[in-house]
């Protein structure tokens, strides 16, 4: 069973994750993970925090001579901003931001200082998710599976120049923007996931993973919501057979998944990200201590982080697919997993 737990706060010493269930003998190139971490920090609309952090992953256990041992793999990303915070006592934060987890978290955990919530609820947490997803990508690459992401639109604009102009305008107004990104996984064989139980469906796991990304409010697979307004003849992907290709489809409205099972076509998922809750011109709120009306709190933030969310989305999708791969093909070593995978592919070709 492939799983991980993470820990750490936005301005704490570090972010960490422990991955359990990786097969042994998988070569891990940390420079590839660092490249994804750098991509996460880029993108038009990012804020001042990105000028401070230079994210770099360190492996603390489970790796010898760049190869996994089969024991838990521990990853760490140091927060460089910790040096600016460690000797300070930040003011008590009592002005919840509409749209953030501030108030709900403070009520749930009985906190009088919202900082206890926002330190973990912060999207800074996604840095370690990108590192974890980077490991998953390297496992998938061995099997010929690739995961890529792209931004489709920001604030309704879908061309790069228009996106920059829209972000600049909103920045000058003290506001923020959301958008839509798309993740595509190619080389995925048919048969990942299952139709037999609700919690084994691959599309359900992908939706769960993407919805867990901060600020994501909607997920589509394939044609998604558009399919609701079309007749079945315009939605369902016709099936063909060729001796060389086997079963295939010429269209991919299903986004590569039918009945919770991958069907061999590229997996295509989209996610909608709401605008960031921290606004330079804050919305109305209520102080949780005095109960008096007050302007919402302001924290250092981005104007838009859709480009960063796209990189996080890649990591999340890669992790879900890596879980599905290890569940189906098993193996305590990479060699065993690859052998099982190759035998399965041969079986499919002989159908």
User: What domain range is 213 assigned to?
Assistant: 3-349
The closest of 346, 225, 311, 255 to 33, measured between CA atoms, is: 311
Q: What is the CA radius of gyration of the chain?
A: 22
- The pLDDT-based confidence of 297 (bands split at 50, 70, 90) is confident
The closest of 4, 275, 29 to 166, measured between CA atoms, is: 275
pLDDT at 50: 56
> For 82-93, how does the pLDDT look when each residue is reduced to its tens digit (9 = 90+)?
777 676 777 899
Q: Would you state the structure tokens that stand for residue 53, as one six-digit string?
A: 């952090």
DSSP β-bridge partners for residue 218: 272
Do 72 and 59 form a contact (C-beta atoms < 8 A)? no
pLDDT at 11: 87
Do 273 and 179 form a contact (C-beta atoms < 8 A)? yes
| pLDDT at residue 52 greater than cutoff 80 | no
- The pLDDT-based confidence of 347 (bands split at 50, 70, 90) is very high
Dihedral of alpha carbons 164, 165, 167, 171, sign: positive
- The pLDDT-based confidence of 289 (bands split at 50, 70, 90) is very high
Tell me the average pLDDT of the chain.
94
The closest of 294, 267, 295, 76 to 174, measured between CA atoms, is: 295
The closest of 216, 188, 222 to 320, measured between CA atoms, is: 188
The closest of 129, 113, 124 to 9, measured between CA atoms, is: 124
Helix (H, G, I), strand (E, B) or coil at 347: helix
Q: What is the CATH number of the domain that holds 136?
A: 3.60.150.10
Pick the residue with more confidence: 186 or 42? 186
- The pLDDT-based confidence of 217 (bands split at 50, 70, 90) is very high
Phi-psi domain of 204 (left: phi exceeds 0; alpha: psi -120 through 50; beta: other):
alpha
Q: How many domains does the chain have?
A: 1
pLDDT at 163: 96
Average pLDDT for 145-170 = 96
Place of tokens 């190619």: 186
| pLDDT at residue 252 greater than cutoff 90 | yes
Q: Which residues contact 169 (CB under 8 A, 6 or more apart)?
A: none
Helix (H, G, I), strand (E, B) or coil at 4: strand
Report the C-alpha gap between 234 and 223 in whole angstroms: 11
Do 117 and 111 form a contact (C-beta atoms < 8 A)? yes
- The pLDDT-based confidence of 254 (bands split at 50, 70, 90) is very high
Least confidently predicted of 20-34, 106-120, 290-304, 308-322: 290-304
pLDDT at 350: 84
The pTM for the full model equals 0.95
Pick the residue with more confidence: 302 or 311? 311
Most confident of 92-96, 118-122, 220-224: 220-224
pLDDT at 245: 87
């Amino acid at each position: 069973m492939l799983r991980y737990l993470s820990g750490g706060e936005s301005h704490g010493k570090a972010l960490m994750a422990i991955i359990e269930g990786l097969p042994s003998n998988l070569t891990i190139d940390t420079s590839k993970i660092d490249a994804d971490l750098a991509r996460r920090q880029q993108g038009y609309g990012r804020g001042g925090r990105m000028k401070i952090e230079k994210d770099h992953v360190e492996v603390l256990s489970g790796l010898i001579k760049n190869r996994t041992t089969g024991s838990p793999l521990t990853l760490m990303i140091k927060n460089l901003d910790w040096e600016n915070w460690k000797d300070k006592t930040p003011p008590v934060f009592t002005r919840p931001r509409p749209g953030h987890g501030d108030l709900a978290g403070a009520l749930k955990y009985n906190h009088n200082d919202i900082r206890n919530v926002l330190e973990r609820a912060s999207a800074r947490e996604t840095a370690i998710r990108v590192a974890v997803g980077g490991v998953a990508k390297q496992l998938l690459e061995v099997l010929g599976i690739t995961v890529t992401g792209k931004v489709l639109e920001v604030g309704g604009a879908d061309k790069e120049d228009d996106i920059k102009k829209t972000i600049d305008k909103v920045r000058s107004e003290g506001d923020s923007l959301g958008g839509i990104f798309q993740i595509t996984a190619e080389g995925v064989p048919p048969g990942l996931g299952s139709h037999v139980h609700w919690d084994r469906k691959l599309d359900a796991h992908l939706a769960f993973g993407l919805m867990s990304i901060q600020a994501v409010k909607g997920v589509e697979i394939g044609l998604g919501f558009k399919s609701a307004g079309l007749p079945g003849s315009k939605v369902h992907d016709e099936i063909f057979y060729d001796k060389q290709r086997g079963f295939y489809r010429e269209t991919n409205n299903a986004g590569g998944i039918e009945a919770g099972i991958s069907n061999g076509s590229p997996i295509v998922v989209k996610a909608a990200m709401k605008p960031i809750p921290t606004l330079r011109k804050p919305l109305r709120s209520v102080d949780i201590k005095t109960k008096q009306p007050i302007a919402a709190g302001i924290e250092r933030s981005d104007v838009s982080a859709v480009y960063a969310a796209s990189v996080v989305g890649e990591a999340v999708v890669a992790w879900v697919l890596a879980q599905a791969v290890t569940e189906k093909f098993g193996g305590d070593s990479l060699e065993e997993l690859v052998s099982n995978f190759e035998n399965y592919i041969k079986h499919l070709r002989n159908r």
